[in-house]
Amino acid sequence: MRAVVYERFGELPVLTQVEDLVPPAGGVVVAVEATGVCRSDWHGWRGHDPDIRLPHVPGHEFAGVVAAVGAGVSRWRPGDRVTTPFICACGTCAACLAGDQQVCLRQEQPGFTHWGSFADQVVVHHADTNLVRVDERIGFVAAAVLGCRFATAFRAVTVQGRVRAGDWLVVFGCGGVGLSAVMIAVAAGARVIAVDVAPAALALAARFGAEVTVDAGATDAAEAVRDATGGGAHVSIDALGSAATLTASIESLRRRGRHVQVGLLPAMGGRPSVPMELVVAYELEILGSHGMAAHAYPGMMGLIESGVLRPAELVTHEIALDAAPAALAAMDGPAPAGFTVIRVR
């Protein structure tokens, strides 16, 4: 099979031929139809993830068709159209048994703990726990963005943020997660403010229904949010992950508001300080959000199948597998607005 492989961190990957994959017991091999290019893949390639062992194939957002099934798999057959969360759970630890597979104690991640989806095939372990069926009404390009950024945003908005119709929601960072959060919150009836420094990202946020856009490079974003909402947002989401966006997100909240942290904060910069005086005085909630378990997908999938949510519209660039190395390297600079998806077949 074809796979995009890198032998050293930071060295440009190459598209090459490798051995076809064999399904492990309890797992399947998925023939990849489409796979997203995410900044997490860039972090892995740059050597920021301790789980990666070289040589390595990146890619963790994908959709395709079950090609082969391992012993012990009961729910899936060759030919099934599938995707999977980027957090693949064991299904048997205490967190999984409580229904919290997104924080599994023994979690695996294609593209990090084992070879990923920048290839013709990818392995999914514990398939009965982790695979999600993709309806014929959802194309593979749209399905490829669901495993990480879109599903993460869906849970951050609807479960952790508990956004309701009429709430003010502010999203800091309009990359893949942020734009997904804008679309999902607007569909839920929220009034959305989008914050970024890139005009193209803000333009997309407005296209997907953001009522207000704020250029954080030109103004105090938290103050702009408080002014626009008459006292602060009900819910804020830091979809970027930096000390500045974390602080501004909390400062933008009204009393008893909820901050949801989705963007990972780089460990090399040290742990950021949190304005705890506001957390205490305003009785704010500080919540993390880490993907979404496979068993929670049906509600989101139903909204996509009915057309209420339209993840395909977030895809702004489609490329072939041989363009994946250049797309990964291009993330040394600002990523293009929207999603880039590799059409593998």
pTM of the full structure? 0.95
Residue reference for tokens 């593209």: 111
CA distance 35 to 112: 15
Domain 2-148+292-343, CATH class in plain words:
alpha beta
SS3 227: helix
For the chain, domain boundaries = 2-148+292-343, 162-288
pLDDT digit string, tens, across residues 162-216: 999 999 999 999 999 999 999 999 999 999 999 999 999 999 999 999 999 999 9
Instruction: Judge contact between 100 and 289, C-beta under 8 A.
Output: no
pLDDT digit string, tens, across residues 287-341: 999 999 999 999 999 999 999 999 999 999 999 999 999 999 999 988 788 999 9
User: Left if phi > 0, otherwise alpha if psi is -120 to 50, otherwise beta: which for 72?
Assistant: left
pLDDT digit string, tens, across residues 9-40: 999 999 999 999 999 999 999 999 999 999 89
CA distance 64 to 42: 22
Q: Return the beta strands (E) in the chain as ranges.
A: 2-5, 14-17, 28-37, 62-69, 81-83, 121-124, 132-133, 168-172, 191-196, 212-215, 233-238, 253-261, 285-288, 315-320, 339-343
According to CATH, what is the number of the domain 162-288? 3.40.50.720
259 bridge partner residues = 236, 286
Determine whether 342 is exposed, middle or buried from the number of CB atoms within 10 Å of its CB (0-12, 13-18, 19+): buried
β-strands 168-172, 191-196: how paired?
Answer: parallel
Per-residue pLDDT at 269: 63
SS3 236: strand
pLDDT digit string, tens, across residues 244-268: 999 999 999 999 999 999 998 865 5
pLDDT digit string, tens, across residues 117-142: 999 999 999 999 999 999 999 999 99
pLDDT digit string, tens, across residues 42-90: 999 999 898 899 999 999 999 999 999 999 999 999 999 999 999 999 9
pLDDT digit string, tens, across residues 216-245: 999 999 999 999 999 999 999 999 999 999
Instruction: Judge contact between 230 and 140, C-beta under 8 A.
Output: no
Instruction: Judge contact between 24 and 68, C-beta under 8 A.
Output: no
